[in-house]
Chain A
Amino acid sequence: MGTTEHTVKAFDEDIGELRGLISEMGGRAEAAIVAAMDALVKSDTSAASRIVSEDTRIDELESQVEKLAVRIIALRAPMADDLREVVAAIKIAGVIERIGDYAKNIAKRVPLIESRRMIEPISLLPAMANTATEMVHDVLNAFAARDAALALRVIERDNVVDDFYNSIFRTLVTFMMENPKTIGEAAHLLFVAKNLERVGDHATNVAEMVYYAATGEYLGDRAGREG
């Protein structure tokens, strides 16, 4: 699909640039989540503040995506899969920006969780983060390759992240009851888990858009499911 070139080559260049921006945004958001979790586990506050400041780059990329998409719509009047891709790109950029915000949010909590070594459930978070970032990683590949099947597999994995969240929630609540002095830190960890759970949700939303861009069908229409 979409392998043939447009007669107007500048159109292909615009679409290529749009995809490039999305890839860069996605790559940065994914790396930010990984780095934020790393900073959290190592209690590395300087890495954490770097992640917070680097989030502005993701915001800038989002506005670049919007401007380019508007220009493409105005100048190229895209149709069919081109149109779907441009619309999906705008929406995906918005979602990735949110994923970047979650990374920033996790990073901001790093200095607030000082006694983390005492909070044993923290060991569950990196595995949850891995699954969530893998979803982000895969969904961006699916967008780049217009791969509807890969997008569907990302959606299926959202359950895993949800299960992680439920299990971490229960563990943390139990831990808080047993160690009331750690409630402050444990609550922060709970928010971190919630942020990761949202990252999984957002990756799922992106996957639905990728599926639409690739096939022209809304997943909601097919299965009656809610993202």
Chain B
Amino acid sequence: MENMTETLKMTARDVSVFYGAKQAIKSVSIDIDMANVTAFIGPSGCGKSTFLRTLNRMNDTISGARVEGRIELDGEDIYASSMDVVQLRARVGMVFQKPNPFPKSIYENVAYGPRIHGLAPAKADLDRMVESALRKAGLWDEVKDRLNESGTALSGGQQQRLCIARAIAVDPEVVLMDEPCSALDPIATAKIEELIHELRGRYAIAIVTHNMQQAARVSQKTAFFHLGTLVEYGDTSEIFTNPREERTKDYITGRYG
């Protein structure tokens, strides 16, 4: 906590999101830092995924979506007109609910990002980046002998780790995960959770999850959203043993939601 300012990666201040006339997020302020995994929890429709998507401007692709307030990455306004969105998404990567590898080889799935961002001048550099990303994603040993096979031929859990490898291949600063394990079995889920644990500190990580046990297991900070507002934010251990807000307590103890 004492080094919060040093490790602070993203700050959101009074962020509101509208879908047309409907306000989906109401003045949310929160910090995402390098040292901690931040979990966003809350019932369906509470705005947690919407909020996550504001952090790398994924909502830009939805027509009628409008974002107010200020979100900074290393002190830089990500909604400023000078911000290159493609560059932003390389710095703030994303992993989705369902694994969505490209219908290409395992190698190409990971090489894609570094290549389009011009990060790999030579084939040898690219090989190194692919291996490094696959190692960090805990997938290397399982796929090193079949890098030319299609990414879609992998199991669901492997596909999701491939997507994580793809996200981190461009060396992002922040990794956003939107329910990354909801389509996976418990073993594959455990591997992703272990991976999140290992990636912590290297990237600032924010994860949306419906699985509260998962939030409790993987995060150090938890934010509880309800009806578009941030109800409570704090240390995960506090939130799950002694939440301050009645609504948080009702949700995490299974009294509604």
Interface residues of chain A, those whose CB is within 8 Å of chain B, are 4-8, 11, 76-84, 216-217
Q: Are B253 and A6 in contact (CB under 8 A)?
A: yes
B240 on interface, CB distance cutoff 8 Å: yes
**How many angstroms from the CA of A81 to the CA of B253 in the assembled complex?**
8
Contact of A80 among B249, B256, B257 (CB under 8 A): B249
Q: Are A7 and B241 in contact (CB under 8 A)?
A: no
B242 on interface, CB distance cutoff 8 Å: yes
Q: Which residue of A lies closest to B244 (CB)?
A: A216
B123 on interface, CB distance cutoff 8 Å: no
Interface of B is mostly: helix
Interface residues of chain B, those whose CB is within 8 Å of chain A, are 212-213, 216, 240-243, 248-250, 252-257
**How many angstroms from the CA of A7 to the CA of B243 in the assembled complex?**
19
Chain B residues with CB under 8 Å of A81's CB are 249, 253
Q: Are A80 and B213 in contact (CB under 8 A)?
A: no
**How many angstroms from the CA of A80 to the CA of B248 in the assembled complex?**
9
Q: Are B240 and A6 in contact (CB under 8 A)?
A: no
Q: Are B249 and A7 in contact (CB under 8 A)?
A: no
The smallest C-beta distance from B236 to any residue of chain A, in angstroms, reads 11
The smallest C-beta distance from A86 to any residue of chain B, in angstroms, reads 11
7 example contacts (A-B, Cβ-Cβ < 8 A) are as follows A4-B256, A6-B255, A79-B253, A79-B254, A80-B240, A80-B241, A80-B248
**How many angstroms from the CA of A204 to the CA of B106 in the assembled complex?**
63
**How many angstroms from the CA of A179 to the CA of B243 in the assembled complex?**
61
Contact of B256 among A7, A76, A77 (CB under 8 A): A7
Q: Are A84 and B242 CB-contacts (below 8 A) given A6-B253, A7-B255? A: yes
**How many angstroms from the CA of A77 to the CA of B249 in the assembled complex?**
14
Q: Are B253 and A82 in contact (CB under 8 A)?
A: yes
- Shortest beta-carbon contacts, A-B, top 10: A216-B242, A79-B252, A4-B255, A80-B249, A82-B253, A6-B254, A79-B253, A80-B253, A79-B240, A80-B243
The smallest C-beta distance from B248 to any residue of chain A, in angstroms, reads 8
Interface centre among A79, A84, A216, A217 (most CB of B within 10 A): A79
Contact of B254 among A8, A84, A217 (CB under 8 A): A8
**How many angstroms from the CA of A60 to the CA of B161 in the assembled complex?**
50
Q: Are A4 and B241 in contact (CB under 8 A)?
A: no
Q: Which residue of B lies closest to A8 (CB)?
A: B254
**How many angstroms from the CA of A86 to the CA of B257 in the assembled complex?**
22
Q: Are B255 and A79 in contact (CB under 8 A)?
A: no
Chain B residues with CB under 8 Å of A77's CB are 213
Contact of A84 among B216, B241, B255, B257 (CB under 8 A): B241
The smallest C-beta distance from B26 to any residue of chain A, in angstroms, reads 24
The smallest C-beta distance from B165 to any residue of chain A, in angstroms, reads 31
Q: Which residue of B lies closest to A77 (CB)?
A: B213
**How many angstroms from the CA of A6 to the CA of B257 in the assembled complex?**
10
Q: Are A5 and B242 CB-contacts (below 8 A) given A77-B213, A79-B212, A80-B249? A: no
The smallest C-beta distance from B256 to any residue of chain A, in angstroms, reads 6
Q: Which residue of B lies closest to A215 (CB)?
A: B242
Q: Which residue of A lies closest to B238 (CB)?
A: A216
The smallest C-beta distance from A194 to any residue of chain B, in angstroms, reads 36
**How many angstroms from the CA of A6 to the CA of B251 in the assembled complex?**
10
Chain B residues with CB under 8 Å of A8's CB are 254
Interface centre among A76, A84, A216 (most CB of B within 10 A): A216
**How many angstroms from the CA of A216 to the CA of B255 in the assembled complex?**
18
Q: Which residue of A lies closest to B243 (CB)?
A: A80
